[in-house]
Amino acid sequence: MKQNLKKPIVAGVGWEPVDETQDLNLVLKKLGNNTGNLIFSESIFRLFPEAQRSPFNHLHKRIGSDRDCIVIAAANWLNEKADFSGLVETLEQTNVPIVVLGLGAQAGMDGRIPNLRPGTERFVRLLAERSPLISARGQFSCEVLEKYGATNAVPTGCPSMLMAGHHAPRFRVTPGWDDLRPEEVLVYGTRHHFHAASGISAELYKVALQKQFDILLQSELADFYFALDRCGELDKPEEVKSHLAKVYQDSPEAVARYLADHGRVFFELDGWFDCCRQKSFLIGTRIHGTISGILSGTPSLLIAHDSRTVELAETMNVPYVLEQGLDVRDESTLRGLYESLEGHSFQSSYERYLKNFNSFFERCGLEVSISSRAEEAALS
């Protein structure tokens, strides 16, 4: 008998009350240590008009309510560091269907299947037993799930692009490269907290400062303090400033000024998308940085640096280039990458993406409502 599930608990990150005046470390932790989580968590929640949000650490309080299923906003959880023992213990106490959206594997460019920790293996086994189907980010993630006993996965890509609604995203016409002002370019690399950069990201931070491009910050906690004029909260601000000088390859004072003027940090989506709409080119290693640009209609290019980013780009037709051999310091390279986006169409690929997700929802018995913000506004 087909189920009609329409009142889920949607478990994800970014739904705990965030007080931006709190210590930035705590604010970022509530967002799963990456503001990009806001995009795919919100994309899933808005699919269900009768949904109830729940942060993962409050999920146990929702058990026994009138909810008819649990929908989980997942990410690159299939990696060698994560252990989901606590979540599994909570889920095992329920007797409703569990549906996971956007589950992905984290691995290097060699595509080696990661060695999952016991809690994550247990989570996969539970999904194999309790999920009608598993929405995986791509074929590689399906292979990893199958390796650990879950044969009910299908490659859907990340649900974030569903925020486009029924119509495929489309890049608007933007100026030629020679007419672009530096503030029209938004760059994003990959670093976490107070760590150093590596690979292509190390070059992106340096180029962003040298060319005075704006920089989108998602998990670079050290940078947050300076971009948001909160460095007075640091115990040792001069040490952090010296660390950032190494990342951006300029003097501590120059880096502090640059981040104050050009660092962009968002704890909510309206301001994030507004920023993207004001740009003409987005480029970097963050998948949700790129998706935020695509959803905003701004030409956006992903620099793929691991199996996860390649998998997502190929599954969702996100424009991308591989980091190997790429010299972002070269002006002609940046020009070529920007010009390569001209004429890029999402039409046929988005139709397939939407069809695949609709098929997934139907087979899982989920009643969903897919619409963009513009479509929702027109109906209200």
Q: Which helix (H) or strand (E) holds 28?
A: helix 24-30
Q: Percent of the chain having pLDDT more than 70?
A: 96
Q: What is the pLDDT of residue 150?
A: 96
H/E stretch holding 153 reads strand 153-155
CA dihedral 52, 57, 63, 68 (to 10 degrees): 40
Same domain, 144 and 228: no
Please report which confidence band the pLDDT of residue 249 belongs to, taking 50, 70 and 90 as the band edges: very high
Domain membership flag for residue 344: no
CATH number at residue 53: 3.40.50
User: Looking at the structure, do residues 191 and 113 belong to the same domain, yes or no?
Assistant: no
If asked whether residues 58 and 127 sit together in one domain, one would say yes
Question: Do 189 and 318 have their domain in common?
Answer: yes
Q: Do residues 187 and 324 share a domain?
A: yes
* Same domain flag for 296 and 205: yes
pLDDT at 107: 76
| pLDDT over 80 (residue 235) | yes
Q: What is the pTM of this model?
A: 0.93
What is residue 246's predicted lDDT score, i.e. its pLDDT? Answer: 97
- 268 inside domain: yes
Instruction: Give the pLDDT band (50/70/90) at residue 275.
Output: very high
| pLDDT bracket for residue 380 (50, 70, 90) | very low
Q: Is residue 47 included in any domain, yes or no? A: yes
Kindly tell me if the per-residue pLDDT of 7 is higher than 70: yes
For residue 1, the model assigns a pLDDT of 42
Domain total in the chain? 2
- Put residue 375 in one of left, alpha, beta given phi > 0 → left and psi -120 to 50 → alpha: alpha
Task: Write down the pLDDT at residue 102.
Answer: 93
Establish if 3 belongs to a structural domain: no
In a domain, 2, yes or no: no
Q: 59 near 83, Cβ under 8 Å?
A: no
Residues 195 and 284 in one domain: yes
pLDDT in tens, 80-120: 999 999 999 999 988 889 999 999 988 777 778 999 999 99
Q: Is residue 269 located within the same domain as residue 357?
A: no
Q: How far is CA 207 from CA 103, 215, 307, in A?
A: 33, 10, 25
**What's the mean pLDDT in 288-302?**
97
Residues 337, 105: contact at Cβ < 8 Å? no
Mean pLDDT of 242-270: 97
Asked whether residue 153 falls in the same domain as residue 268, the answer is no
Are residues 331 and 355 part of one domain? no
Give the residue numbers spanning the domain of 214: 177-339
Average pLDDT estimate for 148-175: 95
Same domain for 246 and 97, yes or no, is: no
Residue 172 lies in a domain: no
Q: Is residue 136 part of a domain?
A: yes
CA–CA separation, 40 and 27 (whole Å): 18
Does residue 345 form part of some domain?
no
**Same domain membership, residue 189 and residue 49:** no
